[in-house]
Structure 1
Amino acid sequence: MRRVLRGLVAGAAATLAVTAVPATTTAQERHEPKAPPQFVALRDVDPTILQEMRYRTRHNFTGERIDGYRQPLCVVTRDTAAALRRAQRTFLRQGYSLKVYDCYRPQRAVDHFVRWAKDLDDQRMKAEFYPRVDKTRLFDDGYIAAKSGHSRGSTVDLTLVRLPVLPTRPYHPGEPLKPCYGPQRDRFPDNSLDMGTGFDCFDTLSHTLDPRVVGAQRANRLLLKNGLEKAGFRNLPEEWWHYTYQPETFPDTYFDFPVTRHALRPGR
């Protein structure tokens, strides 16, 4: 266990070194809203949890970097971070690590999603993320909304990775896209366990307990679900990757500070 922890911490530290915040700040950063003191960088609480922050990249359902994600950083409330740390300790003993895809999400990012969903001509990522859903249905079917629980700071999108962690390749914009619900060998490569669909797959197969998902895929979803529920999280039934820590620190507040270390209070 100690060897595993050292390896995971070393990998996280290397990533942190690459994404360190410059000593100077811009005028824009000085005038941006700041996070309340209850928010922390997950890496400061548990550096062993893997982070693949998809909305900081172009590999998401819009095909572009999302507004507000200034750094590839998981930010959550302190209570949520502590709960993730508890869950991670349990998963590590079983030979797995948590990997987060998204954490706190600024309201400006949600607004970006809404603008994209209204632009019916932009279908560049349809073949991967919503091949069986007409884009005109994204609001009515609940895939896109004007508000997100992520903006309150207690919701995370995450998966499990088997140890030792295998590398995965980056997304290359313009590469051929494969349906997110296809067999794992045909989907975009991800080092996570096979959950039956990729992350952010707009399809009913993403429903956590969809009866068509059986065997190892269902077992993997239940492994994630049971471990997180024991740590105090509640799953969104329509998305196997979506969990909210209960009780939420800010159950009624939607924040809009950017995802950057500069937005966090010193010492957080």
Structure 2
Amino acid sequence: MRHALWLLAALAVPVGPIARADEAPPLSPARTANEAGLVDIRTLAPDIAEDIKYAGSDNFVGAPVDGYLAPACLLLKPAAEALAHVEHELHAQHQRLKLYDCYRPARAVAHFVRWAGDLSDQRTKAAHYPELDKRALLGDYIAPVSGHSRGATVDLTLEQCDARDTHCSPLDMGTDFDYFGTRANTESPQVTATQHANRERLRAAMEAGGFRNYAMEWWHYTLTPEPTPRQIFDVPVH
């Protein structure tokens, strides 16, 4: 997603002195995407595929998430440019990216935390955490601060298109997006050889563009180094 607080240890990115993992980074005073320096990826990659999950109800919360006023992918300009380059390079192989989430407002993360604390709401258990007790999600999978709120992290998959690039289908990655469990780990031994190979294809394409995978989630990538590693945003997505 990712909801893990700060993620820097998992990403192993040397960015110099940072706040402790239990300290929230400062919130930007920006009130609009323009003030925050966030751009819509489609201004750079007009045909990129999107299925922005948190703008609708097809997600682990089961409802539109706070802060998502439109199904759009916003990113800081350096991250958007890097992602557009990855998309362009994939076209030569008749492949493309499909985006599930990009910049995530801090208020959306707060919505996740409230949902995780409501143990009576089990509507999405079968699809998103079938092997876990919901009480295990808060802390292990959902934390009060997300790297997505820094504007350089994306959740996505890889699609294979036909020879004319007319019809594209997502590759089988072994789990759906936002599956809570070890099978979603990028190197999970629980997936088939084909599913693992598909994850590696995605990782190779993203790493070539300067993005690094979060090992707990095959879909989660962050541009490294991040443009704003010590600041989060809360402007709405629209």
Could you state the TM-score of these two structures normalised by the residue count of structure 1?
A: 0.74
In structure 2, give the amino acid aligned to 1:252. Answer: R
Partner of 2:159: 161
Q: After TM superposition, which residue ranges in structure 1, 4 or more long, deviate above 6 angstroms?
A: none
Asked if structure 1 preserves the Cα contact closer than 8 Å seen for 2:117 and 2:138, the reply is no
Partner of 2:228: 250
Asked if structure 1 preserves the Cα contact closer than 8 Å seen for 2:36 and 2:233, the reply is no
3-state DSSP class of the match of 1:109? helix
CA shift for structure 1 position 254: 1.0
Which has the larger displacement, 84-93 or 74-83? 84-93
Partner of 1:208: 186
3-state DSSP class of the match of 1:156? strand
The structure showing larger relative contact order (alpha-carbon pairs under 8 Å, at least 6 residues apart) is 2
Which of residues 171, 180, 198 in structure 2 aligns to 1:193? 171
3-state DSSP class of the match of 2:232? coil
In structure 1, give the amino acid aligned to 2:176. Answer: G
Q: Which has the larger radius of gyration?
A: 1
- Alignment partner of 1:138 is 2:133: no
Rounded to whole Å, the distance in 1 between the matches of 2:178 and 2:124 is: 12
- Alignment partner of 1:234 is 2:212: yes
Partner of 2:5: none
Deviations 1:10-31 (A, max 9, x none): xxxxxxxxxxxxxxxxxxxxxx
In structure 2, give the amino acid aligned to 1:245. Answer: L
Deviations 1:116-165 (A, max 9, x none): 0000000111011101010011124x211100000000000000111146
3-state DSSP class of the match of 1:144? coil
In structure 1, give the amino acid aligned to 2:216. Answer: E
Partner of 1:24: none
Deviations 1:220-244 (A, max 9, x none): 0000001100110010000000000
3-state DSSP class of the match of 2:138? coil
Asked if structure 1 preserves the Cα contact closer than 8 Å seen for 2:160 and 2:170, the reply is yes
Number of aligned residues: 205
Partner of 2:82: 83
3-state DSSP class of the match of 1:108? helix
CA shift for structure 1 position 248: 0.9
Partner of 2:201: 223
Structure 2, unmatched stretches of 5+, are 1-29
